[in-house]
Amino acid sequence: MLLKVPPTKSNLFKLKQDLSFAREGYELLDRKREVLIMELMQLIHTIKNLQRRLAEQLKSAYAEFQEAYIEMGSEEIERANYACLEPLKLTIHERSVMGVPIPDVSAEKQPEKVKLGIMNSSPKFDSSSRKFSEVIPLLIEYAQANLTLTRLANEIKKTQRRVNALENIFIPDNEETIKYISDVLEENDREDFFRRKRIKKRSD
């Protein structure tokens, strides 16, 4: 679609500059999109691996916890949890990957290990508590990977929209307008040439 600008040499010059800038931007955005897609595919593989490891470790921890629950009962389990575990404090920083803020989550303080002999706890409870504590770093890594996945996917969508706008709208419109203005200016130059030629012929 032709842009609504007068067919002048100054506008032709400006449109050519805009077109050159748009083509450079398109190439940069296209490369950015490819890099982000590669990062996304690698992250999906990482998340699948984390899911498998989490499933295995949690299955083992829950199995022992169920045995401890049968041996100790719900009230003893609840008291043991309150007595021996502390909340986990997290720190979240961000780093930039191709302009995308990527979370970097770390644990400031790990929960205390269950202390044996301080209450009427069973070995299964102690073992399950230890296993749940060992899963925490993996859970943090999994949460971080999923948040990163969401941000990468959103950035890819935005980049794709910009690439499409440049490729399908801005660049074609500029090219069409440049051709139109060039044709008009060339036609004006030809008319001016023939007009001068007629004037000269009459003067001769």
DSSP-based three-state secondary structure for 166: helix
Tokens encoding 57: 């470790």
Task: Answer yes or no: is 200 within a domain.
Answer: no
In a domain, 202, yes or no: no
In a domain, 135, yes or no: yes
Domain count for the chain, please give it. 1
pLDDT along the chain (204 residues), means of 10: 87 94 94 93 95 94 87 78 68 85 77 51 80 87 93 95 94 94 87 73 67
Q: Domain range for residue 96? A: 9-191
What pTM value is reported for the model? 0.74
The answer as to whether 41 is a domain residue is yes
CATH number (domain holding residue 134): 1.10.287.3240
